[in-house]
Amino acid sequence: MSGHSKWANIKHKKGAADAKRGKIFTRLIKEITVAARMGGGDPDGNPRLRSAIVTARAENMPKDNITRAIKKGTGELEGEVYDEILYEGYGPGGVAVLVECMTDNRNRTVADIRHYFAKSGGNLGESGCVAYMFDKKGMMLVDKTTISEEALMELAIEAGADDVVEEDDYFQIVTAPEDFDAVRDELEEGGVSFAEASLTMVPQTTIEVTEEKPARALLKLLDNIEGHDDVQNVHANFDIDDDLMEQLS
């Protein structure tokens, strides 16, 4: 999970420091809207919506924005209709990449994503070409300043989590997808606050990228994809040495 964890932390740090806060809110609003459309506007009965709201609150999204997004999803307010699409491909060094999108224009989105892959020396593949290399997991990020590792480990394991991993400024709590909601709810009741909580795709194995040129091209590809307005999440099965990662980031 090393490469995935590093990229997840890079993304979170970039998001927290990103001056373009509106772009972060746009992505969260899309997720809230689609979650409400698919499962209803009550977060207590809609786990996906509840997760989206947790993340939105962690990013300090105003309550009014969350409420409007829910109402757009339930049809109480007029709003765009988004399609969920998963793109799969290979980046520099043969790294497998999954791209989760929400878009109101499939042709525009696929053209842009294909361009990013081609520009990096990779290629956008067919559906199913790399998804089998990943497992769905529940993932929660907890700021290390808010709780000790020992206390969190005890709470998380008792709640049914699979593991707690220390990564830079955060603890990552990992769960089976079917246990995610129960673990999150129990930890929240125990006073744990999350910087992020969502289902994600974790690679079964990772590819070591040891040379600067392909590593730089890979991170540029992931950064370009992440910056696209229609992209919600990016997953990749790479591992880069800590020293090289520090040099590149």
pTM over 0.85: no
- Ordered domains of the chain (ranges, CATH): 2-74 (1.10.10.200), 83-132+205-248 (3.30.70.980), 134-203 (3.30.70.980)
Helix (H) or strand (E) segment spanning residue 115: helix 106-120
Place of tokens 């070409």: 129
- Eight-state DSSP code of residue 177: G
How far apart CA 114 and CA 71 sit, in angstroms, is: 33
CB 93 within 8 A of CB 123: no
Q: What is the pLDDT of residue 198?
A: 86
Q: What is the pLDDT of residue 11?
A: 53
Structural tokens at position 10: 């890079």
- Eight-state DSSP code of residue 213: H
Q: What is the pLDDT of residue 164?
A: 95
CB 176 within 8 A of CB 138: yes
pLDDT tens across the length of the chain (249 residues) = 344 445 555 554 445 445 456 678 889 999 999 999 999 999 999 989 998 998 898 888 999 999 999 999 999 999 888 999 999 999 999 999 999 999 999 999 999 999 999 999 999 999 999 999 999 999 999 999 999 999 999 999 999 999 999 987 899 999 999 999 899 999 999 999 998 888 899 999 999 998 899 999 999 999 999 889 999 999 999 988 888 888 876
**Half-sphere exposure (CA, 13 Å, Cβ side) for 153?**
7
Dihedral angle, C-alpha 239, 245, 248, 249, nearest 10 °: 110
Of 157, 143, 184, nearest in space to 51 by CA: 184
Q: What is the pLDDT of residue 183?
A: 95
Q: What is the pLDDT of residue 1?
A: 37
Q: First-to-last CA distance in the chain? A: 19
How far apart CA 97 and CA 176 sit, in angstroms, is: 21
Torsion sign over Cα 180, 186, 187, 193:
positive
Going by DSSP bridges, is the β-strand pair 196-203/96-103 parallel, antiparallel, or unpaired? unpaired
Going by DSSP bridges, is the β-strand pair 238-239/207-208 parallel, antiparallel, or unpaired? parallel
What residues form DSSP beta bridges with 203? 134
Q: What is the pLDDT of residue 20?
A: 55
- Eight-state DSSP code of residue 127: T
User: What would the 3-class secondary structure string for 36-71 be?
Assistant: HHHHCCCHHHCHHHHHHHHHHHHCCCCHHHHHHHHH
